[in-house]
Structure 1
Amino acid sequence: MESTTLEMEPTTTFQHFTLFTDYDIHLFRAGKHFKLYEKLGSHVVKHGGTEGTYFAVWAPNAKSISVIGNFNNWNNSSHHLHARWDESGIWEGFFPDIKHGEIYKYAIQSTTGDYLEKADPFARYYEMPPQTASVVWEPHYEWKDQKWLERRKSLAGKPQPYSVYEVHLGSWKKKYEDNNRSLNYPEFAQELVQYVKDLGFTHVEFLPVMEHPFYGSWGYQLTGYFAPTSRYGSPSDFMYLVDCFHQAGIGVILDWVPSHFPGDAHGLYKFDGTHLFEHADPRLGFHPDWSSYIFNYGRNEVRAFLISNALFWLEQYHIDGLRVDAVASMLYLDYSRKAGEWIPNKYGGNENLEAIAFLKEFNEVVYANYPDTITVAEESTSWSGVSRPTFLGGLGFGQKWMMGWMHDTLSYFKTDPIHRKYHQNDITFSVMYAFTENFMLPLSHDEVVHGKGSLLGRMPGDDWRRFANLRLLFSYMFTHPGTKLLFMGGEFGQAMEWSHDRGLDWNLLQHPLHAGVQTLIKDLNTFYKAEKALYQYAFEAKGFQWIDYSDRENSVIAYQRMADDKEDVLVIVCNFTPEVRYHYRVGVPYRGMWKEAFNSDNSRYGGSDVLNAGLLSTSPVKYHGGDYSISLTLPPLAVSVLKLEKEITEFDLQEKGT
């Protein structure tokens, strides 16, 4: 591996060599240095004509720090770092005998009397877990995604489709003939990229790829915030994977976890013997749900660490967006806590004012530096303005997961169709608040674990009805306002609940019903991207209009999706029962000829092929508040989408002598 080296002016001795300027230190202490990865951590540099490695670590309560590794037989009596003279709490040193690829840790003697061996919080690479040492690493990669980045920039701020395929890398596919091995980054570049492209998703989203010691945490318990996990290859290998996605026209979103971190001995917890990154008081600093520790967002250096980390992935890895995990747990001081287990803010409320300020600053800095990327909040409460600009009082996220839609929709679909007429509000209520935020509709990993079963497994009835319901669910999601996210396996009807220890059941694609669901997803993505009415006003009420939400007896709903061009209008009719409904009349906005542009009951998807063939002509029968209507056949447990083929005006009728 070729290393990238920095040429530094020989202004100091090796022992007092530094990458920091006085201005860097000023920004760091003020919490405004957002490229700390260029200064802290390990860096291969040339100093005085000699190549070596410069180390810098923030540990204000350390009594002494040395670098240990194979190069000194893990002896903490050599390779000492020196505390800076400016009370920044930064220790640093340059060692010509430590090269690219060396493994190391910091041996810290704390003022508290503790002796600690810590991994580098800014390390770019780590040993393969369960080993925990950092690796001196300067990734070298020649990017080839310039066309993608230019296109991304040209589309910034414009309406565009977002159809996201959510992936846990370790369990997407296993090499069972190779000791149940997961794919590596180059193999993902060959197989996953082509798969996502073939299915037509616009983006892929990875559960956290940052280094994490416990595989069973799915990546949500991070120790290496600046390193892609070594389980699947090197940092350069991961860059190659991102590059391949970009060259295939697919964006990459990463799950990012600024809400908590684990208490592993080599990690951030009590880093210098004191509560450096986390609050000392467990009522503020300990997370009861995940037995992990909460960042101290009121500490300037901690905010700079986290925001630097966000920018690091966007800059160094060309990442297109960050989905921020567990935002609700950050916003509320009493999240998952009983009375007496939390401390009110200075106004006596339960809002975490420091976390709120951090999230606002994070979004402001991200969009100021990378306005063509996106931030997405996983926020499960009704907090107002999550995806509204900070200058309007919002948190500043680009989008927010629509958790209420997910909960109500899955609850509705679990209900036997014979009883759905009593639960009509569950499937219509989401539109009441659909435009209060920039919502993404998630059918995520959280919905197919912990005994919930797979999406297919939740559907009631026999196999025919279960698969029809699943096709109905996906078709309803793709025509509902908002952007889309689907966790891996759902796209072909994974039957078993997801397990991080197993690969997906790819053998199911031998069966026509499973293959049909996959074909449906491919066609839905194609249709979604082709129809401006489905995405131009994804977050605005002007892109949606109810036709009828009150047909409870038949469990049918109908609505319009619209774009600027009035001919860019779609009429969507959902039949949530297995009954075929003949001569079902639906009001339409324009007189003319309509065509069934999509039908989830098509036999190519495994359906029963109850289709509306040919052109459908409007009748001057007033219905659903409109002047015109169409009589059609509603397929069972299916969605039918009608598109205006040719509007007929009064002038057309006069021309024809009608």
Structure 2
Amino acid sequence: MLNILQYDPYLEPYKEDLSLRLFEFARTKKRLLGMEGKLSDFANGHKYFGFQQETHNWTFREWAPNAEKAFLVGDFNEWEGSQHELKAAYGGVWEIAVPGRLPLGSKVKVKLVINGTEVYRVPSYIMYAVQNEYLELDGVIVEPRYEFKHKSPVLKDTAPLIYEAHIGISSEEYRINSYKEFTVDVLPRIKKAGYNTIQLMAIMEHPLYSSFGYQVSNFFAVSSRFGSPEDLMELIDTAHGMGLRVLLDVVHSHAVKNVGDGLNLFDGSSTQYFHAGGRGEHEAWNTKLFNYGKDEVIHFLLSNLKFWLETYRFDGFRFDGVTSMLYHHHGLGTSFDNYGKYFSRDTDIEAIVYLMLANELVRQVNPNATMITEDMSAMPGMALPISEGGIGFDYRLSMGVPDYWIRQFKEKSDEELDLMELWWELTTRRPGEKNIGYAESHDQALVGDKTLMMWLANEAIYDSMDSHTDSLIIDRALALHKLVRLVTFSLAGEGYLNFMGNEFGHPEWLDFPREGNQESFQHARRQWSLSENENLRFKYLLKFDQDMIALEQDHKFLKQSGSLQQCWIKNQDKLLAYRKGKLLFVFNFHPNREQKLSLYMPSKPELIFDTDDNKYGGFGPRSSFTYQEKNKKLELLLAERTAMVFQFSS
């Protein structure tokens, strides 16, 4: 059961801690399921709580153990509720059976009496919620009906090529975009770009648009800003028909503090869903923290995962904020520079067990699902199977890579690029674990930071991206943008992620309408037309990205980490060469000097990709190569800030 020690012998001193994970995991399952139960049978809260249409009536149930009375109120009973009082059932559950049907589209809340005071709450399992005139959320009774036409694609041995997307900012217009418009306008772009997986952000309902979807109020509700549940179903079904899988960026690490909209103080007690006192507060995020050791909370969150898999047919999850879950200090101000920091009194074993339960559940519901974790601490075993002593995710995000690139361009000159440091940053993994590599995600685009293209080009991006304007700044920016992406794509993981628009160097940052910017949509949209304008150089980066992604489609090398072979690395000359699968990658990072390189190669390779090609905004082909059959030498002359990719027949 502790095969993880064979992957990483340095974990041997922490064998008892690793065993404790498995022991608590088994003990929790036994407590929840008995001896032979399955998590997939346990995680059915969405089929019991909330509104359930039965043969002759609607049944509504809510869990509020601290309430004294409960009423179902809405516009169907003029928000009065005396005729719709819920009865107390077992375990703090309240329920009511309403003959016939409640009107679909009705706004609804639960009125609870707590210590003699009436309070109103959005039902915890509501599938849809809208903002009312008081800027608060009302639940809405819905019964989504959509006939899925397409089966989910199965990737199996194919590397996930992930397009991270936000529905609301996906329009070029100064407004919030919709599920339907995304389906028509953006899905074809993603398909054409060659990505095989979409990661959707901000789907779970959140009151504050500018929270980027990371302060969730209603865990079973789709964001009504973008449209209806059926609209999201159609989006996912259409994506499946295109051969695209769809992942949900799921937020189980914390919840919004709003009282009335979400779960905070739902039944008047601070401990219904969350930890008591300071342990239940995330001071940096100003949010509430779940009690992962409480059976009802485990049931709620696991049911939530099964709900998204079954009802909307998502193909897996990217778990947000996992570092915050793993440690009582949430990773704040902590440098994880030795193994002891992963296994200490600061480690939240209940949260680890929950993540293990979540992974096992998802496998039971959909064995082909993809599970990705966002963990900046690099907890050992995060992306190893539970059966081997791991936590069960398929992939972890290579979170250090974007930070590395930002530091390089923010703090250092191009001459100071350290190739040994670069190689270490891009190739170092937890033994046996798979990563998703990326040069930048939405994190690097948020207000207060800059995208890579903005770090490279700065103000020149506004007036020098014209194809007919000579600019050394833009020449450098385009060249490095391509090199950064190619080396990250090929080295930093067994999969790859790109945030919407970054593939063509989308300018500026992300900033949602708010009081501080006069409610402007200027930076809460994607300017697709920049990449379609024949007079602008953004088109070159888009073409480059499409052809780079095609390298993996054609050669399937990303998952072949075991075949990685460093052929040359010389920091002084800024030269790097390596083989992966049947491909040879050769880079000259030098800012102003062409370089010669001689490599032993057993057979003559074929050039298939040159970053300096003029179709990518380069000046080439300037680089050249010859192969000497007699001594098996590949002789290369590489132009400055360029890279070439070669293919071997065997």
Report the TM-score, using the length of structure 2 for normalisation: 0.84
1:207 is the counterpart of 2:212: no
Matched residues, number:
578
Amino acid corresponding to residue 535 of structure 1 in structure 2: L
Q: In the aligned structure 1, how far is the partner of 2:65 from the partner of 2:195?
A: 47
Root-mean-square deviation over aligned CA pairs: 2.5
Partner of residue 482, structure 1: 494
Contact 2:323 2:331 (8 Å CA) reproduced: no
Partner of residue 576, structure 1: 589
Structure 1 stretches lacking a partner, 5+ long: 1-24, 340-344, 563-568, 622-627, 648-658
Amino acid corresponding to residue 574 of structure 1 in structure 2: F
Q: In the aligned structure 1, how far is the partner of 2:387 from the partner of 2:401?
A: 27
Q: CA deviation at 1:452?
A: 1.7
My pick for the range that moved more, 204-213 or 603-612, is 603-612
Q: In the aligned structure 1, how far is the partner of 2:106 from the partner of 2:456?
A: 53
Partner of residue 429, structure 2: 433
Match 1:290 to one of 282, 285, 291: 285
Partner of residue 450, structure 1: 447
Q: In the aligned structure 1, how far is the partner of 2:418 from the partner of 2:547?
A: 32
> What secondary structure is seen at the aligned counterpart in 2 of 1:172?
coil
1:444-482 deviations in Å (ceiling 9; x for gaps): 100122322122011267111011111111111222142
Partner of residue 366, structure 1: 362
Q: In the aligned structure 2, how far is the partner of 1:284 from the partner of 1:59?
A: 21
Partner of residue 643, structure 2: 639
Partner of residue 401, structure 2: 405
Q: Equivalent residues in 2 for 1:230-249 (5 A)?
A: 230-249=224-243
Q: 1:488 to 1:217 in 2, by over 3 A?
A: same
Contact 1:174 1:182 (8 Å CA) reproduced: no
Q: CA deviation at 1:291?
A: 0.4
Partner of residue 310, structure 2: 315
Q: 1:415 to 1:338 in 2, by over 3 A?
A: closer
Q: In the aligned structure 1, how far is the partner of 2:444 from the partner of 2:318?
A: 17
Match 1:598 to one of 593, 597, 609: 609
Q: CA deviation at 1:423?
A: 6.2
Q: Which of the pair has more CA radius of gyration?
A: 1
Amino acid corresponding to residue 307 of structure 2 in structure 1: F
Q: 1:277 to 1:524 in 2, by over 3 A?
A: farther
Q: 1:356 to 1:585 in 2, by over 3 A?
A: same
Q: Equivalent residues in 2 for 1:455-466 (5 A)?
A: 455-459=452-456, 462-466=473-477
Q: CA deviation at 1:336?
A: 5.3
Contact 1:80 1:93 (8 Å CA) reproduced: yes
1:585 is the counterpart of 2:605: no
Q: 1:491 to 1:434 in 2, by over 3 A?
A: farther
Structure 2 stretches lacking a partner, 5+ long: 1-30, 335-340, 458-471, 513-520
> What secondary structure is seen at the aligned counterpart in 2 of 1:560?
strand
Contact 1:289 1:336 (8 Å CA) reproduced: no
Q: CA deviation at 1:426?
A: 3.5
Q: 1:252 to 1:348 in 2, by over 3 A?
A: closer
Q: CA deviation at 1:30?
A: 12
Q: 1:639 to 1:319 in 2, by over 3 A?
A: same
Partner of residue 525, structure 2: 503
Q: CA deviation at 1:76?
A: 3.6
Q: Equivalent residues in 2 for 1:549-568 (5 A)?
A: 549=569, 551-562=570-581
> What secondary structure is seen at the aligned counterpart in 2 of 1:450?
coil
Q: CA deviation at 1:27?
A: 6.1
Q: 1:417 to 1:376 in 2, by over 3 A?
A: same
Contact 2:604 2:629 (8 Å CA) reproduced: no
1:555-594 deviations in Å (ceiling 9; x for gaps): 12111101xxxxxx11101221233525322333x2x221
Q: 1:303 to 1:30 in 2, by over 3 A?
A: farther
Q: CA deviation at 1:633?
A: 2.0
Match 1:527 to one of 540, 544, 551: 551
Q: In the aligned structure 2, how far is the partner of 1:294 from the partner of 1:269?
A: 10
Q: Equivalent residues in 2 for 1:183-262 (5 A)?
A: 183-262=177-256
Amino acid corresponding to residue 69 of structure 1 in structure 2: G
Amino acid corresponding to residue 479 of structure 1 in structure 2: S
Contact 1:252 1:320 (8 Å CA) reproduced: yes
Contact 2:87 2:96 (8 Å CA) reproduced: yes
Q: 1:368 to 1:212 in 2, by over 3 A?
A: same
1:54 is the counterpart of 2:59: yes
Partner of residue 515, structure 2: none
Q: In the aligned structure 2, how far is the partner of 1:54 from the partner of 1:38?
A: 11
Contact 2:419 2:576 (8 Å CA) reproduced: no
> What secondary structure is seen at the aligned counterpart in 2 of 1:547?
strand
Q: In the aligned structure 2, how far is the partner of 1:429 from the partner of 1:235?
A: 41
Amino acid corresponding to residue 502 of structure 2 in structure 1: G
Q: 1:81 to 1:386 in 2, by over 3 A?
A: same
Contact 1:278 1:285 (8 Å CA) reproduced: no
Match 2:165 to one of 140, 164, 167: 167
1:359-416 deviations in Å (ceiling 9; x for gaps): 0111011112211011100000121011001122211011100112232233234465
Q: In the aligned structure 2, how far is the partner of 1:572 from the partner of 1:426?
A: 15
Q: In the aligned structure 1, how far is the partner of 2:447 from the partner of 2:420?
A: 28
Amino acid corresponding to residue 86 of structure 2 in structure 1: L
Amino acid corresponding to residue 357 of structure 2 in structure 1: E
Q: In the aligned structure 1, how far is the partner of 2:176 from the partner of 2:374?
A: 27
Q: CA deviation at 1:277?
A: 4.0
> What secondary structure is seen at the aligned counterpart in 1 of 2:54?
strand
Amino acid corresponding to residue 181 of structure 1 in structure 2: R
Amino acid corresponding to residue 400 of structure 1 in structure 2: R
Q: Quote the sequence identity (%).
A: 28
Q: CA deviation at 1:99?
A: 2.2
1:185-210 deviations in Å (ceiling 9; x for gaps): 11111111111111111111111201
